[in-house]
């Protein structure tokens, strides 16, 4: 419908709107009042993470779905209606389609801890619908696997490469005083 430049610009707008609306809905679902929910949604969607990673399209696209995972999980925990878990599966699928698997992993760790500590009885259903999200994204997962198998890193990253820029213990002082060094 649009030329490439316009479509790309509209996609960025949709990424920020997805994050903004997702945080607002989650905040309202956990009974946060209207104005703080609006503030939280703007703080998250325009945070340093999104702004500084604006050049990494698939990273912020995948991350913009995180609040939706929490919203749909909370909606399910409150209503016990499986339709919310189905929508949750679709969001997992979209995160995987965005192509940044690290964000999917981090999201699933966060949501799984949330479900585990919030309502242990729902863990099995939640796991099944998470699996459904992966099944729905199998075409993307398969093609990504094919691409990785042809990469020069098929055996993983060498330890020497991972240890190239170590974070030394003395650098922790930078969290307290950023101008120390």
Q: How far apart are CA 108 and CA 131, in angstroms?
A: 11
Please give the backbone phi and psi of residue 105, each rounded to the nearest 5 degrees, phi first.
-60, -50
Q: 99 CB contacts (<8 Å, ≥6 apart)?
A: 58, 62, 140, 144
Residue 175's Cα: distance from chain center in Å?
A: 25
Per-residue model confidence as pLDDT tens digits over 20-72: 999 999 999 999 999 999 999 999 999 999 999 999 999 999 999 999 999 99
pLDDT at 25: 98
- Give the model's pLDDT for residue 173: 87
How confident is the model over 93-111, as pLDDT tens digits? 999 999 899 999 999 999 9
Structure tokens at 145: 């696997």
Please tell me whether the overall predicted TM-score, pTM, comes out greater than 0.85 for this model.
no
């Amino acid at each position: 419908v649009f030329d490439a430049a316009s479509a790309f610009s509209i996609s960025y707008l949709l990424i920020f709107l997805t994050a903004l609306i997702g945080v607002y809905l989650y905040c309202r679902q956990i009974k946060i009042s209207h104005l703080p929910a609006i503030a939280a949604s703007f703080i998250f969607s325009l945070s340093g993470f999104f702004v500084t990673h604006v050049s990494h399209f698939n990273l912020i696209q995948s991350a913009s779905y995180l609040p939706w995972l929490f919203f749909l999980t909370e909606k399910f925990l409150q209503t016990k209606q499986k339709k919310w878990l189905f929508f949750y599966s679709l969001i997992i699928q979209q995160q995987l389609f965005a192509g940044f698997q690290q964000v999917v992993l981090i999201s699933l760790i966060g949501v799984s801890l949330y479900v585990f500590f919030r309502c242990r009885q729902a863990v099995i259903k939640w796991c099944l619908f998470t699996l459904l999200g992966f099944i729905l994204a199998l075409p993307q997962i398969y093609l990504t696997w094919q691409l990785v198998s042809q990469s020069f890193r098929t055996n993983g990253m060498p330890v020497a490469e991972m240890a190239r820029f170590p974070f030394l213990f003395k650098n922790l002082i930078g969290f307290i005083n950023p101008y120390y060094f």
